[in-house]
Amino acid sequence: MTNKPLLGPRKTKDDKKLHWEGSSEHLRKALDLSKIVTRRFQLVALAVCVGMAAIVVRLYSIQMLKTEDYAQKLATYTRRYQTVTTPRGEMLDRSGQVLVGNKQRLNITYFPPQGIKDEKEWELARRFSNDFEVDETQLGTRDLKDLYLSLHKKEIDAERITEEEMAAYYKGDLNDNDIYYLELARITEEDLATLDTDLRRAYVVKQAMDMPSSGQTKIIKSDVTVEEAAFLIEHMEDYQGFNVDFDWDREYPFGSMLKSVLGTVTTSKQGLPSEDLDYYLALDYSRNEKVGRSGLEKQYEGLLSGKRSVYDLAYDENGTGYLSEVNEGSKGYDLELSIDARLQQKLDEILSQVLLEYQNDPLRPYMDRIMYVLQDPNTGDILAMSCMIRNADGTISSSPTSIYADAYAPGSVVKGATVYMGLDQGVIQPGEKILDNYIKIKDTPIKKSWKTLGWVDDVQALAQSSNVFMFNVAIRLGGGTYVENNPLKINADTYLLMRSYYSQFGLGVLTGIDVPNEAIGYIPGKLTNAGNTLDFAIGQLDNYTTIELAQYVSTIANGGKKIQPRLVRRAFDPGTQNVVYENYVNVQSTLENTGALERVRQGFNACVYGGICYGLTDLPVTISAKTGTAESFINITGEDGVKTTVDTTNNSLVAYAPAENPQYSMACMIPNAWVTGGGSQSNLCLRITNELTKAIYNPDDVAENDSPSTDEDTNLNGNPVQ
């Protein structure tokens, strides 16, 4: 039987056809790939053509229709601008006298020409140092070392940097800055001696030429003479990049009077203060721009600084830069201050005379300064503020910032606030008498007044400066009961209530005077014993600044309104005289108990007329006042280096005049007025106040309604306050 291969069914021609049963008619159609490719190519080609057409249209618009617009934009984006500081606004006293003005000066400046080489700048520096006077002594040791290093770097690196140090550098253990300081350290005094005077003078100029200034002109020499400026102009072809321009400096017609309060301005070399650099850069200041650094110059920088001139920097065919004005600048706004220059001069003179008169007094060896504030209590205007200091060599200097920066124990002048507090809290009644004898707390020294006063009421307690009366106010306020030679317990938080009351007068808080760096004073922490609380009631604990005392007495004088002191009244455009800023009177708070305040005013008046504020009754105007003495101390270092502590006494005074309608308030502080133990001396604040008040009211004009204020809108006597 023959074996045949196993074969499947034979395939027919029809088997090659696809079976489309169940498919749509669209899928049954045969695909024409050539048509599909052609169609897609056409779509792509069309898209490309449309895109190209859009580009062509856009290019035509840019290059033909808007050529000038885009050329101007390009010029704007690539343009280099230079700003020039315009003169600052002036500061005037309340009568229009200039306290701070501007003095024009000539400067020689430099702006690097395009593509200038360092060698060429050295050549210019040498030429300049030969033709103009240059002070090489301003170079410090570090400057000279930098100069020597720039001339001998290869030699120093080869001979004075060790192989180990270079190996550490290449390894990454030392960086470029480390090597730089090693190079400086290896430069000796003998090396610096090889730098001759001509080279040093040239280096001074080169330093100025290299000064970074954010693309601004560099000042090579300031305040040059007219002859020097003329010489440079005549030889401009030898000094490419150099020019002469005008600048300004601050000038003070009244000399050093109030200078530290008025403030200082940085020089172009100093530029922006490092501590405020980011702030001023954010305001688009240049790094070498002059700005207020202290005092009112800093406080009112935004008003005093003028609108800067803007120039477009371009270069001529020689590469020398030139400027064309884009925006014209303008001078800053002028400030009208509250200061009365005549009274300020008189106050400085009086304080200086007193210090010189007592400089050899053996009982006043440490009385080296006196602080005084004269204020308009109705507006907060500071009419005069002075702190005169007698230096070790006997000369007198002025430090008016001490008025709001230095604090001392004031003593009895604060008793007005203590009486008001007692009356307002109801722990004493108007006219209630308290026996002024002494207070003896167990295990503590006797506390008493300057003498035994007997029975005194609130007004008499102020007139005679009773400590015992104030002690009783504090004891009652704290819920205590006094029994002689027994422990005294009062509420632990009594001192907080007392500080709250004192702050309503401006004591122990910032007054808000419009000048930087006001200090609160020394305010101790929690009072842990009753004795401290009693001391607090008579001004023997917290320390206050003189401006705080001025705000305190002004609050009493004007009827209970605590007004923010001000040194600037307004700012105005010097050209149009239009007021652009008004420093309105700011009433910070108001005492509500007018009856209690009136008792305090009666006590202050009684202190002058029948009390211990003697020496003020011969004035051409009535006056109310309160004096104070406070225990203090001073640390002394002897010639042998041994430090000792000497007990001293502070003197103080607050006053206002006229008594019935106050227009002037005064605050005086004399630290270390005399040495404790040498006997009580006169309070020199009384003498000073007497002389100053007579200077205010001359014999031909003693009307009690005479006022330093000329603002109808800032008079508290019957008129609304803004």
Please give the average per-residue pLDDT across 554-566, as a whole number: 98
Torsion of CA 30, 35, 41, 46, to 10 degrees: -120
17 pLDDT higher than 60: no
The residue among 72 and 650 whose pLDDT is bigger is 650
289 pLDDT higher than 60: yes
pLDDT tens-digit readout, 511-520: 999 999 999 9
Please give the average per-residue pLDDT across 656-662, as a whole number: 96
Helices (H) and strands (E) in the chain, counts: 24, 22
Query: For 562, what's the count of Cα atoms within 13 Å in the CB-facing half-sphere?
Result: 22
pLDDT of the residue at 306: 84
Q: Which segment of 46-60, 346-360, 439-453, 637-651 scores lowest on mean pLDDT?
A: 46-60
pLDDT of the residue at 27: 54
Please give the average per-residue pLDDT across 257-280, as a whole number: 91
500 pLDDT higher than 60: yes
The residue among 682 and 6 whose pLDDT is bigger is 682
Whether 412 is a known active-site residue: answer: yes
Distance CA 437, CA 448 (A): 7
pLDDT tens-digit readout, 185-204: 999 999 999 999 999 999 99
Please give the average per-residue pLDDT across 230-258, as a whole number: 91
Confidence of residue 522 (pLDDT cuts 50, 70, 90): confident
**Percent of residues, the chain, with pLDDT higher than 90:** 68
pLDDT of the residue at 154: 92
Residues near 610 by Cβ (< 8 Å), separated by ≥ 6? 463
Query: What is 605-616 written as a DSSP string?
Result: HHHHTTSS-TT-
CATH code of 345-572+585-713, in short, is 3.40.710.10
The residue among 653 and 638 whose pLDDT is bigger is 653
pLDDT tens-digit readout, 364-413: 999 999 999 999 999 999 999 999 999 999 999 999 999 999 999 999 99
Candidate list 338, 412, 449, 665, residue with the active-site label: 412
Distance CA 86, CA 84 (A): 6
The residue among 422 and 318 whose pLDDT is bigger is 422
Which segments of 347-411 are extended strands (E)? 369-375, 382-390, 396-398, 407-408
Query: What is 503-567 written as a DSSP string?
Result: HHHTTTS----SSS------------SHHHHHHHHTTSSS-EEHHHHHHHHHHHHTTSEEE--BS
User: How would you class 19 by CB atoms within 10 Å of its CB: exposed for 0-12, middle for 13-18, buried for 19 or more?
Assistant: exposed
Same fold for the domain at 89-337 and the one at 345-572+585-713? no
245 pLDDT higher than 90: no
Per-chain mean pLDDT for the chain: 87
pLDDT of the residue at 713: 36
Distance CA 340, CA 258 (A): 11
pLDDT of the residue at 356: 96
20 pLDDT higher than 60: no
Distance CA 109, CA 320 (A): 13
In the 8-state DSSP scheme, what is residue 62? I
Domain ranges across the chain: 89-337, 345-572+585-713
Please give the average per-residue pLDDT across 668-685, as a whole number: 90
- Name the token pair of 198: 């001509």
pLDDT tens-digit readout, 420-436: 999 999 999 999 999 99
Confidence of residue 25 (pLDDT cuts 50, 70, 90): low
pLDDT of the residue at 712: 36
Confidence of residue 687 (pLDDT cuts 50, 70, 90): very high
Q: Which segment of 160-174, 463-477, 522-536 scores lowest on mean pLDDT?
A: 522-536
Backbone φ and ψ of 408, nearest 5°: -145, 160
Confidence of residue 60 (pLDDT cuts 50, 70, 90): confident
Distance CA 437, CA 456 (A): 10
Euclidean distance between the first and the last CA atom of the chain, given in angstroms as a whole number: 135
Confidence of residue 561 (pLDDT cuts 50, 70, 90): very high
Q: Count CB-CB contacts under 10 A for residue 48.
A: 10
pLDDT tens-digit readout, 351-364: 999 999 999 999 99
pLDDT of the residue at 622: 96
pLDDT of the residue at 651: 97
**What CATH superfamily is the domain 89-337?**
Penicillin-binding protein 2a (Domain 2) (3.90.1310.10)
The residue among 1 and 498 whose pLDDT is bigger is 498
718 pLDDT higher than 70: no
Look up tokens 């610096």; give the residue.
192
Helix 494-505 × helix 530-537 angle, to 10°: 20
Amino acid at 61: S
The residue among 32 and 54 whose pLDDT is bigger is 54
For residue 358, the Cα-to-chain-centroid distance in whole angstroms is 35
pLDDT of the residue at 115: 84
pLDDT of the residue at 604: 98
Distance CA 499, CA 638 (A): 38
CB 277 within 8 Å of CB 283: no
CB 324 within 8 Å of CB 312: yes
pLDDT of the residue at 1: 46
Distance CA 414, CA 416 (A): 5
- In this prediction the pTM is 0.78
